[in-house]
Structure 1
Amino acid sequence: MATPTTRRAIRIITPGHIQIESDVPAPRLRPDYLIAEAKAWALNPTDIAHVDKLGGPGTIVGCDWAGVVTAVGENVTRFKPGDAVSGVCHGGNIVEPEDGAYASIVISKELATMHKPDNLSFGEAVSLGVGMATIGQAMYWIMKMRLPSADETPEPIADPAVFVYGGSSATGSLAIQAAKLSGYKVYTACSPSNFDLVQSRGADGWFDYNEATCADDVLATVTSNNSSIGYIIDCIGNEASGTLCASILSPSGGHYHTIKPPVPGPFKTLRPEESAIGTTALAYAMTGESFELPPGKVHPADPDQAAFAREWAVLGEKLLAAGKIKPHPVHVRQGGLEAVVAAIDEMRGSGPRGVKIVYISNAHWTTLKISGQLSEVHVHPMQPPPNPSDPTRECYIKDSPSHVVHMQNGLTLS
């Protein structure tokens, strides 16, 4: 099969405006990268920011993708053509405009890619890229928390404890699980409607961040357990979260990290002492490539962080395959790239809460009607069979009496 020379992709035209283009050049295969046919895409708030102000005209939008590898660069060792994978790209990247995820053919760096476990559909796996990179960078590269293990149960850490502000967000729910796997007690603040979610992900205590007594309630619970809050992952990063987090961080100090720059002013004002560390970062640095964000501000490549990112991707694969980390709940939608364009505008509003929106490529079903000799096969287009069990998982359904096989996207993966 000839390698495609063009692809469909969502590009920024002018700030705030995007469109699908059908004749975008296929990405060049770089030594440390792989190329894949995309099967699913997920939406993130950073996509909106890049469309509106951070990305440049002509850049491809999107970060989260999942699909099947079609080619690998000369330095790639973990993947081969045919592998089912998920990954994270720097969408809207003005240094490498071809790198975005919202395309029919995607280029992804090896260290920013994970094998898709058999127990996850493409629709589930696509929700992981940005979140896994973010918690890896925040919790284990920057905050130096104890790494989880895919093989062993960690020794419990009684003190300090971990607090996740926004634990029902896509990144927050992953942070809760990772911290528990590292052996920490984990407390979180979120909306009461999502208490069941954070409890199911392992949180030891959950609090309504809209309540005026939230900080006092957190401190009372943590103190009753003879512990203190030593690590905070803020998944919201605004004045309200900064204020609350400053008030619950241990009086002896600790480490507060917001995944949304900058560090909120109230945190710096309320906790000016050196022992109360406040940090933020951009997960794009995990690729080990230089980038500009905002345009004109150069972030040099960080080889050491890239080396950690490679190790984290391998560990992440193991944790997911073992079922120790569960994806955030997803809202799977049909419609492919066309639907993603409309969803960008939806994300500017409140959007769904407690779930991650993902889109899958338009499914193409065919019937293989087998009659006579097995070599005599007649192929007919058809609509999907009634009530397919999972529209995000490529599968086949065999109707034995009539010797008919229904195939989605030409694949027979159950």
Structure 2
Amino acid sequence: MANEAAWIKSEKANLEVGPTEKYAPGPHDILIKTHAIAFNPLEASIQKLAIFPITYPAILGSSLAGTVEAVGSAVTAFQAGDRVAASRSPTTIGDKRYGAYQRFALAASSSAAKLDPAVSFADAVSVITNVRTAAAALSVYLGLEKPVLDAAAPPARNEKVLIYGGSSSLGALAVKYAVDAGYAVTTTSSAANRALVEGLGPKHVLDHTVGAEALGKGLVALGPFDANGGAGSWYTVLPSMGPESLPEGVERRFQSFSSVLGEEGNQELRRWLVEVYVPEGLKRGKLGMVKVEKVKGGLEAIQGALDRLFARVSGTKLVLEL
């Protein structure tokens, strides 16, 4: 079967579906036949706002799941036919071969998780990228312990953790990660998604629609928050979109958090994520998942999904099945 992709051919252009080659995996890569693609808000911002410099034409997309078509010469953990979910490495953003928006895509074998037959591609792809970001932000940057999947109850810890936006797909994964590691989590949600967020087990859920002043007072009353990665640090997964007013002494810290998983000192965490936490967490229903909404229409439907994400989607993960 020939390959086909949804291309972005110039800055801020709409996607166009067209042919591309079927790639040969490098020594440490796997070639995946795509069965499901998950969409992340950052991808919509890259397309709509060109917030990162990339070379055009390009193939976007960071989350895919499917079956292994071929493996590189140095790959021993996977073989053709394996069911996997994979996250695009930040180092491959400029390489079209690794973009998720195509029928066959390459992935670094170190970024892929093998899936139990009972786990759907849609569920797996909905978490594979954001769980890496959540784990890196919480365990590397904030210094939190990892959750213990086998524990009957999480270990009790005294630290308070603030995770803003518990109803987003990333926020829900982060809340569950910290809760299952034993931390007292405070998070935010709208009334519409409160039941979803409360089901993740945080100690406090504040309504973020009450206004900045009232919300700020509520957070101050519940603080101080211990695991903050350094006083005055605000860790965020989006860059500033324009002028903003921050309290004195507070610094926005934006970066590709998951990129640190490739560093030498974090290899154990990376392996645990793809070999244990993701496959076992999905199998046991232990991950903080929001509702998955399946998008229909093939690669041609990707532009519509990005349009919806840019307009804002809450409490739901959009997933395209091929």
TM-score range, shorter chain: 0.7 to 0.9
Q: Distance in 1 between matches of 2:267 and 2:239?
A: 21
Which residue in the other structure is 1:217 paired with?
218
For the residue of structure 2 that corresponds to 1:139, the secondary structure is: helix
Equivalent position amino acid for 1:48 in 2: A
Q: Does 2:236 match 1:258? A: yes
| 2:248 is the alignment partner of 1:270 | yes
CA distance in 2, matches of 1:334, 1:326: 24
Task: Quote the Cα distance in structure 1 between the aligned partners of 2:232 and 2:160.
Answer: 10
For the Cα contact (< 8 Å) 2:164–2:171, is it kept in 1? yes
Residue in structure 2 matching 1:355, options 305, 310, 316: 316
1:328 aligns with 2:306: no
**Structure 2 partner of 1:7:** 3
The 3-state SS of whatever aligns with 1:230 is coil
Shift of 1:325: 1.3
Map 1:53-64; keep pairs closer than 5 Å. Answer: 53=50, 54=52, 55-64=54-63
Please list, as runs of the form range in 1=range in 2, the aligned pairs for 1:107-256 lying within 5 A after superposition. Answer: 107-152=106-151, 153-158=153-158, 160-211=159-210, 212-220=213-221, 222=222, 228-231=224-227, 253=231, 256=234
Between Structure 1 and Structure 2, the one with more strand by share is 1
Query: Aligned AA for 2:297?
Result: G
| Alignment counterpart, residue 19 of structure 1, candidates 5, 16, 19 | 16
Tell me if 1:318 matches 2:296. Answer: no
TM-aligned CA deviation for residue 79 of structure 1: 1.9
Aligned to 1:45: 41
**SS where residue 272 of structure 2 aligns?**
helix
1:38·1:106 contact (CA, 8 Å) conserved in 2?
A: yes
Post-superposition shift, 1:140?
Answer: 0.9
Q: CA deviation at 1:232?
A: 5.3
Where 1:127 maps in the other structure, the secondary structure is: helix
Structure of larger gyration radius: 1
Instruction: In structure 2, give the amino acid aligned to 1:261.
Output: P
- Cα distance in 1 between the residues matched to 2:303 and 2:98: 17
Report the alpha carbon displacement of residue 284 of structure 1 after superposing the two structures with TM. Answer: 5.4
Q: How far apart are residue 170 of structure 1 and its match? A: 0.4
Higher relative contact order (CA 8 A, sep 6+): 2
Matched, 1:282 2:256: yes
Code of the residue aligned with 2:186 in structure 1: it is: Y
User: CA separation in 2, counterparts of 1:90 and 1:191?
Assistant: 32
- Report if the CA contact (8 A) 1:41-1:126 is conserved: yes
CA distance in 2, matches of 1:170, 1:77: 32
Contact 2:143 2:227 in 1 (8 A): no
- Shift of residue 186, structure 1, vs aligned partner: 1.0
Matched residue, 1:295: none
Deviations 1:213-266 (A, max 9, x none): 22222343x36xxxx312359xxxxxxxxxxxxxxxxxx947542222359964
8 Å Cα contact 1:125-1:327 kept in structure 2: no
Show CA shifts across 1:307-353 (max 9, x none): 54233222322322232214221111222211113322333323x32
- Displacement of 1:11 in angstroms is 1.5
Letter in 1 for 2:292: V
User: For the Cα contact (< 8 Å) 1:31–1:73, is it kept in 2?
Assistant: yes
State the distance in 2 between where 1:345 and 1:254 align: 34
Q: Using the TM superposition, name which of 173-182 and 81-90 deviates more.
A: 81-90
Choose 81-90 or 175-184, whichever is displaced more: 81-90
Q: Give the residue type in structure 1 aligned to 2:219.
A: V
* Aligned position for 1:342: 304
Q: 1:154 to 1:125 in 2, by over 3 A?
A: same
Which letter does structure 1 place at the counterpart of 2:155?
E
Question: What TM-score do you get using the length of structure 2 for normalisation?
Answer: 0.87
Q: How far apart in 1 are the matches of 2:85 and 2:269?
A: 18
The Cα offsets for residues 272-316 of structure 1, whole Å up to 9 and x where unpaired, read as 5xxxx863320452573xxxxxxxxxxxxx444455423322232
| SS of alignment partner, residue 166 of structure 2 | coil
State how far apart, in whole Å, the 2-side matches of 1:324 and 1:307 are: 20
Query: What does residue range 82-101 of structure 1 map to in structure 2 within 5 Å?
Result: 82-90=81-89, 93=92, 95-101=94-100
> Who is 1:381 aligned against?
none
d(CA) in 2 for partners of 1:108, 1:156 = 38
Indicate which of 27, 32, 36 corresponds to 1:36. 32
For residues 58-104 of structure 1, what are the alpha-carbon distances to aligned partners after superposition, in whole Å with 9 as ceiling and x for unaligned? 22111111111111222323222111111111589564222100110
- Structure 2 counterpart of 1:69, which letter? V
Name the SS of the counterpart of 2:31 in structure 1: strand
Change over 3 Å in CA distance of 1:185–1:118 after alignment to 2 = farther
Decide whether the 8 Å contact of 1:331 with 1:356 is kept in 2. yes
SS of the aligned residue for 1:279 comes to strand
State the AA in 1 paired with 2:18: E
Give the distance between the partners of 1:170 and 1:70, measured in 2 at CA: 29
CA distance in 2, matches of 1:142, 1:166: 18
